[in-house]
């Protein structure tokens, strides 16, 4: 897919959970990951690292923990209703291991450090957004999910993540299967969420 303009990419981005199992070429992955590194971070500290999971066995274990959180917590939430988003999320639960790549963005510090989670996130989530926008620009679907955070220590042990890092989320990557397509995300209008000079 040819590169597309920035605002076209922003407007096209949406959660894609129905992914083909087709592999993502190495040069495409490198472009996506390189875009993540262009993000801002506090003091330009770049406290991030990215674990790119392609091993079927590793993805299968992550999928077990991912589904466990769905079964024990998310699926029982009273506010969860039958909707396209819920059906899409449930599909990913049952096909998590089939995503060709699962990126685990990590950040140095975080839990147990002197900085709060919100401030720490400011130095990793812009990189995640860059990664996801680059994916769209190259025709690769993605979704940000935090289900694996509920098995943080197990995930870190499985992936060999050092003690002084924590995981920020998981981003499954893959070419869209066609069930979901780029664009079309519903968003509240500006006048509902933007307050000029004061609330």
CA 51 – CA 170 distance, rounded (Å): 10
Give the pLDDT score at 118: 60
pLDDT band at 1 (very low <50, low <70, confident <90, very high): very low
Per-residue confidence (pLDDT) for residue 109, from 0 to 100:
82
Kindly report, residue by residue over 130-158, the tens digit of the pLDDT: 999 999 999 999 999 999 999 999 999 99
* pLDDT, tens digit (0-9, with 9 covering 90-100), for 35-55: 999 999 999 999 999 999 999
pTM to 2 decimal places: 0.90
Asked whether residue 189 carries a pLDDT value surpassing 80, the answer given is yes
By CB atoms closer than 10 A (0-12, 13-18, 19+), residue 67 is middle
Place of tokens 């690769």: 140
Helix (H) and strand (E) counts in the chain: 8, 5
The answer to whether the beta carbons of residues 80 and 3 sit under 8 Å apart is no
* Domains delineated in the chain: 6-176 (3.40.109.10)
Give the model's pLDDT for residue 46: 93
Residue 119 has pLDDT above 80, yes or no: no
pLDDT at 120: 76
- Burial (CB < 10 A; 0-12, 13-18, 19+), residue 12, is middle
DSSP states of 35-101: HHTTS--GGG---EEEEEE--HHHHHHHHHHHHHHHHHTGGG-TT--SSHHHHHHHHHHHHGGGSSE
Q: Quick one: pLDDT at residue 148?
A: 94
Tens of pLDDT, residue by residue over 44-97, are 999 999 999 999 999 999 999 999 988 887 666 666 667 778 888 889 999 999
Cβ atoms within 10 Å of 55's Cβ, excluding its own: 10
Distance separating alpha carbons of residues 79 and 82, to the nearest angstrom = 10
Question: What's the pLDDT score for residue 78?
Answer: 64
Average pLDDT for residues 165-177, to the nearest whole number?
96
Question: Structure tokens of 65?
Answer: 């923990």
């Amino acid at each position: 897919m040819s590169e597309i303009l920035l605002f076209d990419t922003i407007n096209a981005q949406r959660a894609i959970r129905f992914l083909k199992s087709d592999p993502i070429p190495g040069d495409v992955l490198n472009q996506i990951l390189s875009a993540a590194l262009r993000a801002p971070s506090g003091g330009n500290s770049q406290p991030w690292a990215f674990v790119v999971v392609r091993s079927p066995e590793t993805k299968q274990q992550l999928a077990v923990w991912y589904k466990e959180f769905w079964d024990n917590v998310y699926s029982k939430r009273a506010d969860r209703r039958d909707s396209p988003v819920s059906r899409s999320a449930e599909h990913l639960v049952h096909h998590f291991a089939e995503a060709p790549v699962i990126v685990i963005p990590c950040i140095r510090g975080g839990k147990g450090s002197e900085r709060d989670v919100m401030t720490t996130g400011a130095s990793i989530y812009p990189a995640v957004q860059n990664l996801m926008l680059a994916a769209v620009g190259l025709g690769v679907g993605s979704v940000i999910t935090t289900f694996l955070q509920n098995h943080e220590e197990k995930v870190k042990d499985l992936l060999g993540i050092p003690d002084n890092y924590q995981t920020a989320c998981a981003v499954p990557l893959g070419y869209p299967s066609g069930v979901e397509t780029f664009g079309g995300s519903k968003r509240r209008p500006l006048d509902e969420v933007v307050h000029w000079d004061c609330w």
